[in-house]
Amino acid sequence: MEPRYVTVSALNKYLKAKFIEDQQLSNIYLKGEISNFKYHSSGHCYFTLKDSSSRINAVLFSSQARKITFTIEDGMHVLVEGSVSIYEATGQYQLYVRSIILDGIGQLYVQFEQLKKKLEMMGYFDHLHKKEIKKFPKKIGIITGANTAALKDIVKVISNRFPFVEIYLFPTLVQGKTAANDIVKSIKKADQSKLDTILLARGGGSLEDLWPFNQEIVAQAVYDATTPIISAIGHESDVVITDYVADVRAATPTAGASLIVPDYKEVILLITHYKKQMSQIINLRLRNEKTRLQPITNSYYYKNPKALYQEEFLRLSILNDSLQQLFHKLVSNQKQKIGKFDTYLSNHSNQLIIKKQNQIQIINQKLQFDFQIFFKLKQNQYNNIKERLHAYSPLGILKRGFTYITKDDKMIVSAKELHQGDAIEVSFIDGKRKATIND
C-alpha cells in the first residue's frame, strides 16, 4: 500500500483540532515568570512564561489586556488562565491567555511599587508640599483603630509628654476591605475640625494587614488635607504609601506620639536655660551701661545741672531786649509813614478830585461823539436795506409797469390756465380792471 502524503497546512489543522478536543488544554492554569514581554501597537501583548527548566510562548489579546489592573513587566511571577493551541502559520504551539494576576505577596509588592512610582511622578512626595508641624499644638487628632494597643500607647505617651493639649479621637477601621474608605472619611472629618496636627497610626502587621494605607484614595486624602499629618504605621521596618505622602513619617505609633507633642519637662528645662541666659545677658548689659554712665555722673554738668542753661537764659534775655527795641523802631517808622501819607492826602485831595472830574468829562464827551457816529452808520444801513426790500416787494414791481392777473381770486401764472370767455381781473399799481378773454 502506497503512503498518503498530506500538506503541512493539513497537518497543522489536524494538530490544532486535537488541541481543541483536549479539555485539559482548552482550560489550563499555569504559574511562572514573565520574560521577553512586548507590547504591540495593536494592543496585543506577547511574552514568554517560564520556570526554572522550561518555557512557553504566550499571547494576550488587546480585549483581555485592557482588563489588567497593573503594568506587566519582565520578572513578575504570575498566575495565568487560558488555553494551549497551535498557530497554523508557523506550526508552533503557544498559550492564549484569558486572564493574568500577580502571584501572592509579589502582587501586592508590585502594586505598591507601581503606585509609589505613579504618585512620585505626580509630585505627591515633593518637600514643597510638606507642611510644618506645630511645636506647641493646642488641639490634635488621632486616627487609629478603636480600643487598640496602639491607641492606648499613643494617649499614654502624649499625656505624659504634654498633658495640656486637647486630644480628639477619630476611631476608624485600619484593616480589611472597607478600611481604606473608612480611613478617608476619618481624615476628611479630622481635617475639618480645625486641629493643629493629625496623627494617622496603626500597630504592626503583615503587608496584607497594612494594605489600606497603600491605597491611592488614602494617599489622595492625606495629600489634599490642609492640616499637617504625621504617618505612624506599623513597625520601624514597615513602610507604606502614606509615609511618603504625609508631612512627617514616624517609625512607630509611639514615635508618632513623641513627634506630635513636645516633652513639657524638656520645655521647662529649656525655658529655665533661656531664663538663665537672659538673666546673664541683662546683668552683663547693666554692668556695661553702668561703666559707661560712671564718667557722666562724675562730670561738672551732672553735678551742676543749672550750668547747662544759665548761659542760655542770658542769651535769651539779650535777644528779648533786642526784639523789643526792633519792635518799637518798626512801630515808630510806620507811624512816620502814616503821618506823611496823611499830610500828602490833605494837601492834594482837592487837586486829585478836580483831575478825576476832568477825566470823566473828557470820557463822557468822547462816548457821545462815538455814539452819534455809530447811530448814523446803523441808520444808513437800515435805509439801504429798506429800499432794497421795497424794490423787490410786489408793489415795487407793479410800480415799474408790471401787472398780475387773477381768476376767481387765484393767481394766474400760465396762459394755459385761461380759455375764451373767462372773466379775469388785472391789478395795476393804482387800481384794478375787469376783462374777458376773447381769443
DSSP string, 249-281: E-SSHHHHHHHHS--HHHHHHHHHHHHHHHHHH
Predicted pLDDT of residue 204: 85
Burial of 307 (C-beta count, 10 Å sphere; 0-12/13-18/19+):
exposed
- Is 231 or 419 the better-scoring residue by pLDDT? 231
pLDDT above 70: residue 142: yes
Q: How far apart are CA 168 and CA 155, in angstroms?
A: 10
Task: Write out the H or E segment, with its range, that includes residue 39.
Answer: strand 28-39
Homologous superfamily of 133-262 = Response regulator (3.40.50.2300)
Relative to beta strand 92-102, strand 55-60 is parallel
Nearest to 117 by CA among 71, 78, 67: 71
Q: What percent of the chain has pLDDT over 90?
A: 36
Q: Are 37 and 72 in contact (CB under 8 A)?
A: yes
pLDDT value for 106: 62
Task: In the chain, count H helices and then E strands.
Answer: 13, 14
Q: Is 24 exposed, middle or buried (0-12, 13-18, 19+ CB in 10 A)?
A: exposed
Checking if the pLDDT of 92 tops 70, the result is yes
Whether the per-residue pLDDT at 5 is higher than 90: the answer is no
Strands, sheet with 431-436, edge to edge from the N-terminal-most edge strand: 410-411, 404-407, 423-428, 431-436
Checking if the pLDDT of 348 tops 80, the result is no
With beta carbons less than 8 A apart as the criterion, state whether 143 and 200 touch: yes
Query: Mean pLDDT for the chain?
Result: 87
Q: Provide the pLDDT for residue 397.
A: 73
Beta strands at 166-171 and 229-233: parallel, antiparallel or unpaired: unpaired
- Tell me if the pTM is above 0.85: no
Asked if residue 19 lies in contact with residue 11, where contact means CB atoms within 8 angstroms, the answer is no
Per residue in 148-198, pLDDT (tens digit) is: 989 999 999 999 999 999 999 999 999 988 999 999 999 999 999 999 999
Over residues 414-435, the pLDDT tens digits come to 888 888 888 889 888 788 888 8
Which residue would you say has higher pLDDT here, 388 or 219?
A: 219
* C-alpha dist (Å) from residue 104 to 67, 101, 239: 19, 9, 19
Residues 6+ apart with CB under 8 A from 110: 70, 73, 76, 102
**The pLDDT value given to residue 107:** 67
pLDDT at 1 over 70: no
Does 86 score more than 70 pLDDT? yes
Sign of the Cα pseudo-torsion (213, 143, 253, 203, in order): negative
Q: Which three cell numbers stand for residue 7?
A: 500538506
Q: Evaluate whether 263 touches 162 at the Cβ level (below 8 Å).
A: yes
> In the prediction, which pLDDT does 104 show?
65
Please say if the pLDDT value at position 205 is more than 90.
no
246 vs 307, which has greater pLDDT? 246
Instruction: Write phi, then psi, for 140 (nearest 5 degrees).
Output: -130, 155
- Confidence at residue 157, expressed as pLDDT on a 0 to 100 scale: 94
Q: Which three cell numbers stand for residue 66?
A: 485592557
pLDDT band at 289 (very low <50, low <70, confident <90, very high): confident
Please state which CATH number belongs to domain 8-103. 2.40.50.140
H or E stretch at 433? strand 431-436
| Beta carbons of 140 and 260 less than 8 angstroms apart | yes
- pLDDT of residue 246 exceeding 90, the answer is yes
Beta bridge partners of 55: 50
Parse the chain into domains and list their residue ranges.
8-103, 133-262, 404-436
| C-alpha span between 158 and 153 (Å, rounded) | 9
Taking only the tens place, the pLDDT of each residue in 290-346 is: 888 888 777 776 667 766 677 777 788 788 888 888 888 888 888 888 877 777 777
Cβ pair 94, 56 in contact under 8 A: yes
Q: What is the mean pLDDT of residues 364-392?
A: 84
CA distance 372 to 366: 10
For residue 341, what pLDDT is reported? 77
Burial (CB count within 10 angstroms: exposed 0-12, middle 13-18, buried 19+), residue 426 = middle
Sequence length of the chain is: 439
Read off the pLDDT of each residue in 108-129 and give the average, rounded to a whole number.
Answer: 88
